[in-house]
Amino acid sequence: MKVNINSEIGELQAVIIHHPGSEIENMTPQNAERALYSDILNLTVATKEYCEFEGVLRKYTNVYEVKDLLVEAIQSDNIKKELAYKVCTNEHADHVYDDLMELDNYAFATAMIEGVEMKKDNLTNFLSQERYSLRSLHNFFFMRDASISMYNNVLISKMANTVRAREAKIMETIFDHSHTVSAKTINPINYRDYDPELTIEGGDVLIAREDVIFIGLGTRSNTKAVDFLIERFKESKTTMNIVVQELPYKPESFIHLDMVFTFLDADKCMIYEPLIARHSKYQTVHIQIANGKVNFIRYRNNFMEALAVLNFNLKPITCGLPDDLWIQQREQWHSGANFFALGPGKVMGYARNSYTIEELNKNGFEVIKAKDILKGRKEMKDYKSFVVTLDGSELPRGGGGARCMTMPVWRDAINW
């Protein structure tokens, strides 16, 4: 399957996920902050919740597991060696290379994700407080961040934190060498104009339309990444609009743009209203590229105004309770604005954000519990517009929602 993503809401034909494994438990209170968590997760509870999420996806569309794709991609010894070399070199773990190469492909893929325990076979290692020579990828079930499906290409992310750099290398290997999913990969580090300070992650990039993308600027993605994309669009000679939204650095719930804005339908969106619909100190910038040059760069009063200028006729639905900032802050904290669209008007999100779910229901979205779908009590195909509510007490504590946990490969076109 080739990559084809021209919107956030087109009917979903395929998606990549990663079912969290023991890497979730390879974390202690002492190293949780380094792993980008504010708390440690309970794998048993997280697994139960994730199985519900995954089960709904499999009922609706084609689902690919990232570990299976990686096993497929490393069938050639040269590809396997190349990935092992890049990872070991980047993480200063050259001593692990030979051990990795002795593993069969499945065990190799597992080690890439779950980590490699340190052998206490010399004094340095014996006295080390580290347990792993290759650390676990605690965040990898947030599949959205390490690579970005962008039209017919895949942009390989330059992660803001080195603890997640291996995720991007794995995704590049998959899209370059898997037979199941494939795409031309665009990796900023391979370009002459690459700036080492560039960072970009998938949660900050929304493919709004064939000629519009949204990018969040905050702790994970910066202006250098936008500049890089401007140059690529100039090369393509196409007309492209980039809407850039500045994000707060704190609290950590504002980590990505999709934590404050997501598409729900061709005429509806979910917003964290104080940031997206009001004039604030967090700037909104509209950039237009056409015929190989930048036509203009302009401020807009807020994000919703920028969308209106681009002829998006979107009704905003508030995360939380309208006119109640307290409730809005509480529900945004637990990914209350982070919805994933299975198709136009067909979305998934956490049940715990009860006020947000109620707002969706008031705006025509039938509320369907995920467990009712999995037990056969309700069928998604029977509803034109719905929100599937996922049980989530543990998963939200990882810092992401349904959009964060998905990497779409193919969506059908939208007739705007």
Mean pLDDT of 357-383: 97
Give the predicted TM-score (pTM) of the model: 0.94
- Band the pLDDT of 31: cuts 50, 70, 90: low
220 in Cβ contact with 256 (< 8 Å): yes
How confident is the prediction for the chain on average, in pLDDT?
A: 94
- Band the pLDDT of 32: cuts 50, 70, 90: low
Residues 66-89 pLDDT 10s: 999 999 999 999 999 999 999 999
High-pLDDT (> 90) share of the chain, %: 84
Task: Please report the pLDDT score of residue 77 as a whole number.
Answer: 95
Spans of all domains in the chain: 12-411
Question: What is the C-alpha to C-alpha distance for residues 117 and 154, in angstroms, rounded to an integer?
Answer: 32
CB atoms within 10 A of CB 102: 8
Task: Please report the pLDDT score of residue 12 as a whole number.
Answer: 98
Residues 191-246 pLDDT 10s: 999 999 999 999 999 999 999 999 999 999 999 999 999 999 999 888 999 999 99
Residues 247-283 pLDDT 10s: 999 888 899 999 999 999 999 999 999 999 988 899 9
Nearest alpha carbon to residue 309 among 291, 284, 275 = 284
The answer on pLDDT for 293 being more than 60 is yes
Residues 100-154 pLDDT 10s: 999 999 999 999 999 999 898 888 888 888 888 999 998 999 999 999 999 999 9
Task: Please report the pLDDT score of residue 62 as a whole number.
Answer: 98
155 in Cβ contact with 205 (< 8 Å): yes
Nearest alpha carbon to residue 118 among 106, 108, 129 = 129
Question: What is the C-alpha to C-alpha distance for residues 337 and 270, in angstroms, rounded to an integer?
Answer: 6
Contacts of 186 by beta carbon, 8 Å cutoff, 6+ apart = 150, 153, 154, 155, 156, 232
Task: Please report the pLDDT score of residue 1 as a whole number.
Answer: 86
CATH class of the 12-411 domain in this structure:
alpha beta
What SS3 state is found at 87? helix
What SS3 state is found at 112? helix
Please calculate the CA angle 135-138-140 and round it to the nearest 5 degrees: 110
The answer on pLDDT for 37 being more than 70 is no
Nearest alpha carbon to residue 84 among 249, 192, 95, 51 = 95
